[in-house]
Amino acid sequence: MKRTHVADLIFVPEQVLDARTFDALRDAGADENSARAATRAMLHASRLGIDSHGVRLTSHYAKVLRGGRVNPTPQMETRRTAAGSAILDADNALGHAAAYAAMNLACDMAKEAGVAAVGVVNSSHYGAAGAYALAGAEAGLIAVSMTNTDSVVALHGGAQRFHGTNPIAVGAPVPGHRPWLLDMATSSIPFNRVLLYRTLGRSLPEGVAADQSGQPTQDPNDVEMLMPLGGIDFGFKGAALAGFVTLLSAVLTGSTLDHLMIRMAETDDFKTPRQMGHFCLAIDPDRFAGRALYEAAITRYLADLRASATSQGQSVMAPGDREWAVEAERQRTGIPVDPETAKFLGVG
């Protein structure tokens, strides 16, 4: 472990973070499965450079476990509703455990039905959506994961919070290579990045957030709401995508709507369950063009994409390329951790 003078981050080996994160969740009361799932999802984010959803969230999850918002020993139940659909009742578990369980179920069902969807009810914050899409892709399926979240994003042209950051993630297997992996919020940035930048004392990019009056701000301490993906001119696209996530994660499953949900952190209530909903989808390539044709097509597609002509000084990447490069770098250097998280985990 070492300190760097850049932003005062502390670089920690992955194995150390894994052990300390798991232990912190167990100390907060989480059973082994819940603690392992949350640690797996947070380390996924930290390895790939999604630091806003990485191990920095451990202290929050410990707080909600101790406060009673999250059930440390859930008894999750599944109800198969058709050949290709099911509902998983998470029993107010840590969302990571629920999301991994739902994706595993969707993949098993898709191998029978070709396509399968699982809605999750009575869950909680699940971190980086890409963790679950990646799990499905590594099982050989095209996988989609999404969740609605508490209201923090203005509508296009709006001046108050309405949607959550409502991420969408998609993973697809690639023979001989890491999966094609998309993980995006439908807001300009995730709200956890605002919280991270507050901790680090950094300014936000232009046009991603607004203050109490709805005016743009780059000061993370003044942020009241985020802007939808697309910003001032094209935010209607991000707002519509956020609504799509709410439709599948909350409306379809009967879970809490974004603007009616207890806030994740900006609240004194860490006792009341938030009853969040998630949605995942798995598609088996064997049931469409067939595995051989699928693998040939995605291999050709990605080869041609990466060989595409570029603008001067620019490069092109497929979704996931940047993340796999970050992961390789962090395997060499360790994972950067902010001082507050380092202190909580005992690694600083």
pLDDT in tens, 93-127: 999 999 999 999 999 999 999 999 999 999 999 99
Burial level of 253, CB count in 10 A (0-12/13-18/19+)? buried
pTM of the model: 0.94
| pLDDT tens digits, 53-95 | 999 999 999 999 999 999 999 999 999 999 999 999 999 999 9
Q: Right CATH number for 76-290 from 3.50.50.60, 3.30.1600.10, 3.30.1370.60, 3.90.470.20?
A: 3.30.1370.60
**pLDDT over 60 (residue 309):** yes
**pLDDT over 80 (residue 5):** no
Measured CA to CA, the distance from residue 348 to residue 212 in angstroms comes to: 35
94 Cβ neighbours under 8 A, 6+ residues apart? 25, 30, 34, 37, 38, 61, 65, 70, 74, 124, 126
| pLDDT tens digits, 206-249 | 989 999 988 899 999 999 999 999 988 899 999 999 999 999 99
pLDDT at residue 7 in the model: 54
Region at 336 (left for phi over 0; alpha for psi -120 to 50; beta for the rest):
beta
Q: What DSSP state is assigned to residue 247?
A: I
Band of residue 1 on the pLDDT scale cut at 50, 70, 90: very low
Each domain of the chain, given as residue ranges in start order, spans: 76-290
Structure tokens at 148: 């609605």
114 Cβ neighbours under 8 A, 6+ residues apart? 84, 283, 284, 287, 288
Is residue 305 within 8 Å of residue 318, measured between CB atoms?
yes
Band of residue 142 on the pLDDT scale cut at 50, 70, 90: very high
HEC assignment per residue over 38-99: HHHHHHHHHHCCCHHHCHHHHHHHHHHHHHCCCCCCCCCEEEEEECCEEEEECCCCCHHHHH
Is residue 102 within 8 Å of residue 280, measured between CB atoms?
yes
C-alpha dist (Å) from residue 209 to 19, 82, 184, 231, 259: 35, 42, 17, 9, 18
